[in-house]
Amino acid sequence: MAFSAIDVIVTKRDGGQLSEEQIHWIVEGYTAGRVADEQMAALAMAILLRGMTPEEIAHWTAAMIASGERMDLSTVPRPLVDKHSTGGVGDKITLPLAPLVAACGAAVPQLSGRGLGHTGGTLDKLEAIPGLRTRLSTTEFLEQLATVGCAVCAASESLAPADRKLYALRDVTGTVESIPLIASSIMSKKIAEGTSGLVLDVKVGSGAFMKSLDDARQLATTMVELGAAHGVRTVALLTDMATPLGRTVGNAVEVAEALEVLAGGGPPDVVELTVALARRMLDLAGLSDVDPADALASGRAMDVWRAMVRAQGGDPDASLPVARETEVVRAPRSGVVTKLDALAVGIAAWRLGAGRARKEDPVSATAGVVLHRKEGDTVTAGEPLLELRTDDPDRIPAALAALQDGITIGDTAAPRRPLILDTIE
């Protein structure tokens, strides 16, 4: 049945509910180029302002899945479980997590994305490793899942192509921050990827899409329900993103930190979140009797990491690239770091070259921020607070400007916020 794009837009603009047929028609038409960008942009804005009912979100997600192929991972001889983070600053968790969960017996089919704006992307981080490929054929992907147990690579063009097109449009029309559109975007890709279980890390705070706990809870609940409706067992952790995760923000610097975690060390917050997410993933995979902390301590997770890097063409022993310039930011006074804002640090790393403004821009493997102090740490006047790294010194002033109001040193430490704020299942 054919509809008019204008009628669909006007229905949503005026607060009405779209039918299943209208939703499939418009998503299909947009993917095929019959519905124009400006019409879909108007509809996305109407959705952002008016919202969607649970039925509309379910139909929208189904239409996005139906726009492309659904992967068949049934030949993988291990329980399948994946993780998705809604994106944050210093969020390198996938790098230690995927090999860790694989080392515990599950298969992790991680189809990841690239960073946009101040949030980093897993593929950009991995590509800091000399030689590593993030484009794998379906045959390579399946073989690696069966042999190594995990693969972290780019999604093929045929996976939820409606989302690919719509996300690029939302990015330039101020329509990213819509809970129905974010939930359907993420879940359509994860359901089409073919995983059986999914743990969502929904970030909350200045460095995340969701600034408030209530919004994050609503997004998480919507995604958990979408997963259940499509036969993907889904659990969401709501985690703090008011301050960066770990001590590094950038590409090569985050890989180096992930390696520390795989070697049994690393910053406590990164280890805590990696192990907490691994436990949830192993529960969903029916492997709750395996302790991920053991697999980290014993070096089994590191062995899987090395096998994964090798399988994707990288050299696990190659040195990571290092930036030519370093600018140290020192504490202006003695005291306790009471604020180290995730968004400010994310923007600084982005301006140093670690991120991109448009999706076709290149990123620098070496640029980033290394934190010498975290929230709650004491510091003496003149000691280093953080380090800016870049190959292009002209970028340093803009990065410093981003940090201007992002760091506060006080007299007494604020109570520590928990890293894991809530769980939705």
| Residues 190/163, Cβ–Cβ less than 8 Å | no
Q: How far is the CB of 208 from ligand URA (least distance, A)?
A: 10
Stretch that binds ligand URA, among 177-185, 350-358, 383-391, 408-416 (CB under 6 A): 177-185
CB of 94 to ligand URA, least distance (A): 14
Q: How many other CB atoms are there within 10 angstroms of residue 85's CB atom?
A: 25
Provide, rounded to whole angstroms, the least separation between the CB of residue 217 and ligand URA. Answer: 17
User: In one letter, which amino acid is 270?
Assistant: V
CB of 186 to ligand URA, least distance (A): 5
CB 377 within 8 A of CB 409: no
When the beta carbons of 104 and 181 are compared against ligand URA, the nearer one is 181
Q: Which residue is nearest to ligand URA (CB)?
A: 185
Q: Which of 31, 134, 144, 185 binds ligand URA (CB under 6 A)?
A: 185
* Interacting residues of 322 by C-beta distance below 8 A, sequence separation 6+: 252, 366, 389
Nearer to ligand URA (CB atom), residue 175 or residue 196: 175
Per CB under 6 A, 18 contacts ligand URA: no
Applying CB under 6 A, among 182, 242, 245, 363 the residue interacting with ligand URA is 182
- Sole binder of ligand URA in the list 186, 208, 249, 277 (CB under 6 A): 186
The span from the first CA to the last CA of the chain, in angstroms, equals 37
- The amino acid occupying position 144 is Q
CB of 135 to ligand URA, least distance (A): 18
Considering the complex, state which of residue 198 and residue 259 has its C-beta at the smaller distance from ligand URA. Answer: 198
Q: Taking contact as CB under 6 A, which single stretch among the options 89-97, 176-184, 211-219, 374-382 is the one that binds ligand URA?
A: 176-184
State the nearest-atom distance from the C-beta of 184 to ligand URA, in Å. Answer: 8
Active site (annotated) includes residue 190: no
Among the candidate windows 46-54, 182-190, 218-226, 357-365, which touches ligand URA by CB under 6 A? 182-190
Q: Which amino acid is at 302?
A: M
Size of the site for ligand URA (CB under 6 A): 8
Instruction: Pick between residue 181 and residue 340 the one whose CB is nearest to ligand URA.
Output: 181
Binding letters toward ligand URA, positions 132-171, x by CB under 6 A: -----------------------------------x----
In the residue annotation, 185 being an active-site residue is answered as yes
Out of 85, 178, 184, 185, the active site residue is 185
Q: Looking at 83, 125, 164, 170, which residue is catalytic?
A: 170
Is residue 165 annotated as a catalytic residue, yes or no? no
Contact 91/203 with Cβ under 8 angstroms? Answer: yes
Known active-site residue 298: no
Give 87 or 368: the residue with its C-beta nearer to ligand URA.
87
Point out which span in 26-34, 126-134, 180-188, 284-292 binds ligand URA (CB under 6 A): 180-188
Per CB under 6 A, contacts with ligand URA among 95-124 are: none
* Residue found under tokens 């809530």: 422
Q: Given 12, 189, 300, 395, which residue is catalytic?
A: 189
Pattern of binders to ligand URA over 61-90, x per CB under 6 A?
Answer: -------------------------xx---
Residue 372 is among the residues annotated as catalytic for this protein: no
Cβ pair 211, 342 in contact under 8 A: no
18 by Cβ neighbours in 10 Å (0-12 / 13-18 / 19+) ranks as buried
| CA 301/CA 275 separation, integer angstroms | 12
Catalytic residues: 84, 163, 170, 185, 189
Binding site for ligand URA (CB under 6 A): 86-87, 167, 176, 181-182, 185-186
